[in-house]
Amino acid sequence: MDRPRGESGKYISKEEAENISEQDLPKLVHKSSTMTGALKKLKDASEEKTLDEPLLDIKVNNPLSRLYKLLNQLKKKQTTTITFRLGIPLIALPVLITAFAGLFFGLGKVTTQPKEKIVEVEKEPDFVNVSKAGLLKIMVGDAESTYYLIMPSGEAIKLNIPSSFNVSNYDGKRILATGKYYTKDQLIVVDSISGLEVLPLRPSPIPTQIPTPTPSEIVN
């Protein structure tokens, strides 16, 4: 059996041949030597691996891995020096100093908003108590009658008269209506009503005395 030879052409032992890696195979095998045993198996495996390699190999690297490595390098360095250069004309320098001074002085001040004065607006009452004199006008309808108080100015105010009040005798006459006057609705809710020119239904007779004739009037 042929013994394997190394790069210099010298024979190598069986143990050395078995421990040779695939990368060191071209260096340790002499051109004139014949591979046997472990070296031959290693060479055959290398050739088969080469034949099995793909014709086109595409690799897509993760971009986050580069960022992660960069961050690790920055952490290891711990200190980073950043230098800025700012050119300011001498003419603009006082303006900038004044602006920055006003900014820093303003940060220390505590500003409070003035308290808003709340003005309470008195709500107008829904009604006022009134007593109004005028001419009563009754509008008779199918379901119910409607009552109006005609003022001397010609204004017509609607009256809400309770059903317990009998005002049929006041139609077309002057009355005094007392109650709650709702200005928004132009309505008087009547509490009491009285006539100002009511005449009796039947005139009462006025007693008259017949004069007694004197004796002289009888003689004549």
**Which sequence spans correspond to the domains of the chain?**
14-52, 128-195
Question: pLDDT averaged over the chain?
Answer: 72
Residue 150's pLDDT is what?
92
48-58: average pLDDT: 61
Name the range with the highest mean pLDDT among 27-31, 34-38, 70-74, 122-126: 70-74
47 alpha-carbon distance from chain centroid: 74
99-104: average pLDDT: 75
pLDDT grade, residue 41 (50/70/90)?
Answer: low
Please give the Cα distance from 157 to 147 (Å, whole number): 9
- Please check the confidence at residue 2 and state whether its pLDDT lies above 70: no
Residue of 169, 171, 186 whose CA lies nearest to 136: 171
105-129: average pLDDT: 71
Dihedral (CA of 46, 51, 54, 56) sign: positive
Q: Where are the alpha helices (DSSP H) in the chain?
A: 14-18, 25-28, 37-52, 63-77, 93-107, 215-219
Out of 57-71, 127-141, 152-166, 199-213, least confident range: 199-213
User: What does pTM read for this prediction?
Assistant: 0.36
Cβ 6 vs Cβ 28: under 8 Å: yes
- Please check the confidence at residue 156 and state whether its pLDDT lies above 50: yes
Residue 182's pLDDT is what?
92
Cβ 199 vs Cβ 169: under 8 Å: no
pLDDT grade, residue 76 (50/70/90)?
Answer: confident
- Please check the confidence at residue 43 and state whether its pLDDT lies above 70: no
Residues 6+ apart with CB under 8 A from 132: 149, 151, 157, 176, 177, 181, 188
Structure tokens at 171: 């139609």
| CATH number of this structure's domain 128-195 | 2.40.50.140
Cβ 147 vs Cβ 175: under 8 Å: no
Cβ 198 vs Cβ 169: under 8 Å: yes
pLDDT grade, residue 32 (50/70/90)?
Answer: very low
